[in-house]
Amino acid sequence: MSDPSEKTALKQPNIRRFIAFRILFNARFYYPIFTILFLDFGLTLEQFAILNAVWAATIVLLEVPSGALADTIGRRNLIIASAVIMIVEMALLCFAPIGQMPIVFYLFLINRILSGAAEASASGADEALAYDTLKDLGLQKNWGRVLETQMRLQSIAFIVAMSLGAMLYDADRLNQIFTAFSLDFEISKESAMRIPLVLTLFLGIGALLTALGLTEPDSEKIARRVARRENSLDSIKQAFAKTLETGKWILNTPIAMLIILGGFLIDHITRMILTLNSEYYRQIDLPEASFGIISAGFGLMGLFTPRLGRWLSENRSKTFNFFVISSATFLGLLGMTYFIPFWGIAPMVLIYGSIGLAGFLVSTYLNAETPSDSRATALSFKGLCFNLAYGGIGLAYSFLVYRLRSSETIQSIPSEKVGAELFKSALSYFPIYFAIAFVVVLLFGIANRQSIDSSPTSRAD
């Protein structure tokens, strides 16, 4: 029998709006065609990689001060600001002139900066406001139920948004549907490209209306009054100082350092692959309308990877898990380089599985190793490192594509095939890069094996 307090918690207006905001802010229609959207607007692979590095850098720079800012101006105000920024960033893309460079590049650059700022602003502020709402009512024990409901509904929204987004982006498929229903209407590729963007803009407007309906819990109002008595700049300085202090602890604690390095190894390269996945799907001859269905299917893996991750953390050693996930990642990267038509989707299963398991295990291990008074900051530091790595590999990828573009092999092929050949050539370097990075992390682990074996979360091999 369910606890009556669970229903009471879910009926709270702030909780309902928190769940709605998470869905509207995150379930974006353009995600399954993310890479090809940028390229079809006229950007090159190098510019695409640079723009995503800028996005990651923006989050890194604003993640810590946004927390201090929330304590000063209020979490509700920061959530509202993130929704406003989302509307502006999407409006820029909706009205961007396709193919008109360099205007398109600068509009996308502003979009990436605003997107990173919106992510940093919303990060944690909505969750903290919702939790404090329950805490004021003495219902904080039901927070797990709230999160479970939010994640389930968000997964459903993701499946719908990704499936529709990819289908609506495919002008040929849309026109086939119109013909099948005897509709005397034809949509151009340029118009179809904007449909997922316009729909996401509407989600942003919905997110803003939802955020405006939020109310500050009494505990937050009190905390904000206290924070306002302090200098906001001092709050930000203290937040950075705490992050640096925790960073020093991690650098001087081999097991914590190794956990982050292991996660860093898997996370940054798999995230880069997931960023490029729509272009990969195009190169293995999958129809654009299927991209969303594929992404939704992979999203369902998230229902099973936590259970497998828990079993691995409880029954296998860190070393075993590191080798298993690294091997799966390497085999996935290697399999992708063959670009097998249709069946090339199989290696992506290993990529999606690896990033899910790595995220679960890093969180489990790092929480167990970190002192309670530094736990939140350690996780924040981990996030900063991962985003820095993602931005770094984006810049490296951009430089690689630039070098390949000037090679004799690329210059000798027809211009209409240059983009595809550049993508395939650049992707062939990923397994090599991963193997080198793997050896570096492995050597660090061997050098600090004694510290690893003595840690509380270690188990015998």
8-214: CATH number: 1.20.1250.20
How far apart are the C-alpha atoms of 326 and 349, rounded to whole Å?
A: 14
Q: Is the dihedral of CA 383, 60, 109, 268 positive or negative?
A: negative
Which pTM was predicted?
Answer: 0.80
Mutual orientation of helices 189-212 and 75-94 as an angle, nearest 10°?
Answer: 170
Domain ranges across the chain: 8-214, 231-461
pLDDT given for residue 461 in this prediction? 42
In the chain, what are the helix, strand and coil shares in percent, each to the nearest 5? Answer: 85, 0, 15
How far apart are the C-alpha atoms of 249 and 164, rounded to whole Å?
A: 46
How far apart are the C-alpha atoms of 10 and 134, rounded to whole Å?
A: 10
pLDDT given for residue 370 in this prediction? 77
The amino acid present at 62, given as its one-letter code, is L
pLDDT given for residue 459 in this prediction? 45
pLDDT given for residue 30 in this prediction? 92
pLDDT digits (tens, 9 = 90+) for 147-174: 778 877 887 888 888 888 888 998 888 8
The residue with tokens 């736990």 is 375
pLDDT tier, 356 (very low <50, low <70, confident <90, very high otherwise): confident
Q: Annotate 294-334 with DSSP letters as a single string.
A: HHHHHHGGGGTHHHHHHHHHHHS-HHHHHHHHHHHHHHHHH
Q: Would you state the torsion angle of the CA atoms of residues 336, 340, 341, 343, taken in this order, to the nearest 10 degrees?
A: -80
CB 410 within 8 Å of CB 404: yes
**Residue 80: both structure tokens together:** 């509202």
Distance of CA 142 to the CA centre of its chain: 27
Name the residue among 205, 208, 199, 329 with its Cα closest to residue 273: 329
Question: CATH topology for 231-461?
Answer: Growth Hormone; Chain: A; (1.20.1250)
Q: Is the pLDDT of residue 452 over 70?
A: no
pLDDT digits (tens, 9 = 90+) for 216-246: 887 555 555 555 545 556 666 776 776 677 7
CB 294 within 8 Å of CB 286: yes
Of the candidate ranges 22-26, 124-128, 382-386, 453-457, the one whose mean pLDDT is the lowest:
453-457
Same-fold call for 8-214 versus 231-461 = yes
pLDDT digits (tens, 9 = 90+) for 306-325: 778 888 988 988 889 999 99
CB 173 within 8 Å of CB 289: yes
pLDDT given for residue 148 in this prediction? 72
